[in-house]
Structure 1
Amino acid sequence: MRYFLIAGEASGDLLGASLMSGLQQLDPEAHITGIGGPAMQDLGLQSLFPMDELSLMGIWEVLPKYRHLKRRIAETAEAVIAAEPDALIGIDSPDFCLRVARLVRARRPDLRTIHYVAPSVWAWRPGRAAKMAQVIDHVLAILPFEPPLMRAAGMTCDFVGHPVATAKIAGPEKAAAFRDSHGIAADAPVVLCLPGSRRSEVSRLAPRFDEALMRLRDRVPEIRVVLPTVPGVAAMVRDMTRRWPSAPIVIEDAEAKRAAFSAADLALAASGTVSLDLAANRVPMVIGYDMAPLSRMVIGWLLRTDTVTLVNLVSETRAVPEYLGRNCQPGPLAEGLQEVLENAVARRAQMEAMDLTMQRLGKGGEAPGLRAARSVLSAIREPQSR
């Protein structure tokens, strides 16, 4: 079969790669085209254009790029029509993917349209599900509570688990080797700094995160800071850290990042799927996030939940502390980090919440990418109800 996949950011690229692996396992002759990043390209995808052009979030961030994104939407829709796939599969990035699906649906109403990652209607803008159902037939959900919400809106939906639940975790030997290679003492706390995978996130959060970690270092001088990054923002991160008073260890290599996560004792992270990577490695965390003032105001009006951290949502706890919007400042972040680092009760609560999250996301079961591929094939074979 022929598939057209669209991923717009680093987390979507990883989901896309896991789906591609599953499709290739079930359908060795699968022909896959579309848009993706390094992980999908490693499996043979030739991206229509660089994926990082789509890695934008927030009204203020998107507005300057609006005309360019509109051209890319039209270009992608034309590429879908020309490719004549059996299914169009958008992976997260709903603002881009659903606009492409709408253009394609107008010209190819018979084409099966699938979206991987349900929109977070449980958090904000619940009307999005009904609007999405106008152009999407089937949804691959990565959170266990999402299928009923998607089905109620008129789409079919399967919970396929999350790849992080079955991802390869570096063992103690790799963690020790990482410490040795960077001259980190065995008893020195390793703190991960994770300011996001989008340029707008890094430019806004990295200075606050750095100042928070400097304040934590004043109180706990022995900490070592490690900053894992992704290709789309790696050059930007390295340039920024050269100007920091005490530059962290910046790593981009995938194996080194796995080792760093395994070696870590604590993390300061932007809100997003990285909290699940931390949970898989049992790294206690503090979450910080902010947006441009206009975006922050609009999202604040629409938000329907008291937490945005996936570990809290999936585990149905509030074990992971969050500092969002105006609260995302160096002082509160540093206080939160010290509390998690030194309070055994808080760390234990996070560990329990992280273990429960991994269990609910499919740990110990079939690989989510393979489950997602089975769901895609099933959806293609089902008669269309439209």
Structure 2
Amino acid sequence: MPLRVMIIAGESSGELYGALLAKKLKEKWPDVFLLGVGGSKMETEGVELIAGITSAFGIFGAISSVKKLFGTYRKLTEIFKTKRVDVLVLIDFPDFNLFVAKAAKKYGIKVLYYVSPQVWAWRTGRIKKIAERSHIIAAILPFEPEMYEKEGTDCEFVGHPAMEELLQHVSDAKSLKEEFSLNPDAPVLGIFPGSRDGELKRHLPVIVDTIKAIKSAHSEFQFIIAVAPNLHIERYKALFTTLRALEVKFVAERSLDVLAVSDVALMKSGTAAFQAALMGIPLVVFYKMPAIEFRIAKIIIDVSHINLANLIMEREVVKELIQDDATPARISAEILSLYEDSAKRESMTDDFKRLRALFESKNPTDEVVKIIANLTGD
């Protein structure tokens, strides 16, 4: 009887990991039946979608989309009742996935949590809940297994799929600069404003003024913005028009190619910033959120850094400019400091080499496939 695996991813980066996993599962078991929640990448790799990626992110985003989420949850639980699912693979997205995990366990389905929620940063009480509702956890950060093993749950450090994506991706900077109409002899600032609509709303105005400040100091700079999938760009038409007037170039859904042509990067905190570090690209991290969410976050988040490179290295390798510090003046000063100070730049890239060494020998998707095989006895 063919293996049946359900994969649930809640946003773009998680969906990519789900697609990588689906492809490997098909290679190992050509007749495997895949279903789940995701986007076009997962669908292309043979996953039958029950629902698409939701736009619900963060505390208030989830509240506004609760009807959609509840509808998806009902579809999933109906499948658990009426059809066989051998393994449920959950990728991050805890506000939804933890409810699904509880239901799946009720029906005897093996639950594998891949890309565990960042419980080490906030809501640490969830560690016990995740442990109780998962048969095994595939950790992507080296310090996570110890936390879960204290709760008596199996947890394996499999490596980070962001590294896996890098190793599979081939970029030729020279040809890409030609394709993107960039001057090969002038510096390039790669800009990553985020993958969520709310992030664009808060970040794009800051980016506009940051570009103006950098151009004023170094007119030779070129600017390229990585546009994430699943964005409603038309909502920000005026800002995009302003950016085009500043000669900013836009590249959609090719973040690694944008990084490949970047001499320095300005990045929203997240997976792409981690990939930039793994690639050895000097960068500055910034992030702005609604004021009330920021006040709540300050109360419940218990980490010294928000950037993964800094967390893993246990010090500020990458400058983090958050909320009120994320001003055009501060951001442009940090970017220009990296550009003008070769010693500072080399110190950062040396740290990035040490970071990369922790991950480049790992192949997380292969490891997750092995875990699934162990869970099912195949």
Matched position secondary structure for 1:134: helix
Q: Quick check: 1:30 aligned with 2:29?
A: no
Question: For the residues of structure 1 that align with 2:130 and 2:270, how far apart are their CA atoms?
Answer: 22
* Aligned position for 1:250: 250
Conserved 8 A contact 1:138-1:155: yes
Question: For the residues of structure 2 that align with 1:203 and 1:238, how far apart are their CA atoms?
Answer: 8
Q: TM-score, normalised by structure 1?
A: 0.90
The letter of the residue matching 2:323 is: G
| Residue 247 of structure 1, CA deviation | 4.9
| Residue 178 of structure 1, CA deviation | 1.8
For 1:223-242, list aligned pairs within 5 A: 223-233=221-231, 235-236=233-234, 239=237, 240-242=239-241
* Aligned position for 2:205: 207
* Aligned position for 2:69: 69
Question: For the residues of structure 2 that align with 1:238 and 1:190, how far apart are their CA atoms?
Answer: 23
* Aligned position for 1:297: 295
The letter of the residue matching 1:378 is: N
Conserved 8 A contact 1:57-1:200: no
Conserved 8 A contact 1:314-1:360: no
Indicate the percent of aligned positions where both proteins have the same amino acid.
25
For 1:83-122, list aligned pairs within 5 A: 83-106=83-106, 108=107, 110-122=108-120
Unmatched 5+ residue regions in structure 2? none
Unmatched 5+ residue regions in structure 1? none
Question: For the residues of structure 2 that align with 1:207 and 1:122, how far apart are their CA atoms?
Answer: 32
Q: TM-score, normalised by structure 2?
A: 0.92
Matched position secondary structure for 1:34: strand
Candidates 335, 338, 348, aligned match of 1:337: 335
| Residue 266 of structure 1, CA deviation | 0.9
Conserved 8 A contact 1:317-1:353: no
Conserved 8 A contact 1:204-1:290: yes
Question: For the residues of structure 2 that align with 1:215 and 1:346, how far apart are their CA atoms?
Answer: 21
CA deviation digits over 1:89-148, x for unaligned, max 9? 111111111122223334x1x211111112222222211111222322211111111111
CA deviation digits over 1:318-356, x for unaligned, max 9? 110001122222221111111122222221122122222
* Aligned position for 1:354: 352
For 1:116-195, list aligned pairs within 5 A: 116-166=114-164, 167=166, 168-171=168-171, 174-195=172-193
Question: For the residues of structure 2 that align with 1:335 and 1:56, how far apart are their CA atoms?
Answer: 34
CA deviation digits over 1:156-177, x for unaligned, max 9? 1111111222323434xx2111
| Residue 283 of structure 1, CA deviation | 1.1
* Aligned position for 2:281: 283
Specify whether residues 331 and 81 from structure 1 end up closer, same or farther in structure 2 by C-alpha distance, changes over 3 A only: farther
Q: RMSD in angstroms over aligned alpha carbons?
A: 2.1
| Residue 253 of structure 1, CA deviation | 4.7
Question: For the residues of structure 2 that align with 1:237 and 1:170, how far apart are their CA atoms?
Answer: 33
Question: For the residues of structure 1 that align with 2:93 and 2:295, how far apart are their CA atoms?
Answer: 21
* Aligned position for 1:374: 370
Specify whether residues 234 and 176 from structure 1 end up closer, same or farther in structure 2 by C-alpha distance, changes over 3 A only: farther
